Amino acid sequence: MNRPVILKNVPSVNRLLDEIKHLLRILPLRFPHGVPEHESDFEHTFINSHGEMIVKKRLKEYEPEPTDLVPKPEEEKWKLQLETVQKELEYRLRTYSVNWGVFQPAYKYHRNEDKKEYRYTFNKDTPKYEW
């Protein structure tokens, strides 16, 4: 039930299907990605509900060219060096800024909006000098 079946388009089969065509939905078989080229591709094909035979093609083996393996001088300039990374990490440990970029304060209060007077009462006891 509700399973796609492939039949030959010959007169004998067409006569049999004509008798029960009110029970069937006949769709032509389409190949949107092309016909399978290799025998091993048949293992990776399926028919969807729209009558399309989807072929997942084999990928060709990639063999890099010898010129791809050698870095270009422009790329060598931007290469990350282990010594640079270690210096940066040691600096962050010394300055206690390891997670500085991740855990920044979400909001900075102004004009006593947080109702904590002690933050804003410093230097009020010191005498003011008039010049």
Domain count, the chain: 2
Q: Is residue 6 part of a domain?
A: no
Has this prediction a pTM greater than 0.85? no
Residue 46, SS3?
Answer: strand
Of all residues in the chain, what percent carry a pLDDT higher than 90? 10
Maximum CA pair distance of the chain? 115
- For the stretch 64-123, pLDDT in tens is 677 666 777 777 777 888 998 999 989 988 988 877 777 776 766 666 666 666 666 666
Contacts of 49 (CB under 8 A, 6+ apart): 4
In this structure, the answer to whether residues 87 and 115 fall within a common structural domain is yes
In this structure, the answer to whether residues 73 and 105 fall within a common structural domain is yes
In this structure, the answer to whether residues 51 and 96 fall within a common structural domain is no
Q: Which two tokens stand for residue 60?
A: 């060709």
In this structure, the answer to whether residues 16 and 51 fall within a common structural domain is yes
Q: Is residue 60 part of a domain?
A: no
Contacts of 23 (CB under 8 A, 6+ apart): none
Q: Is residue 128 part of a domain?
A: no
Full domain range(s) for residue 22: 11-55
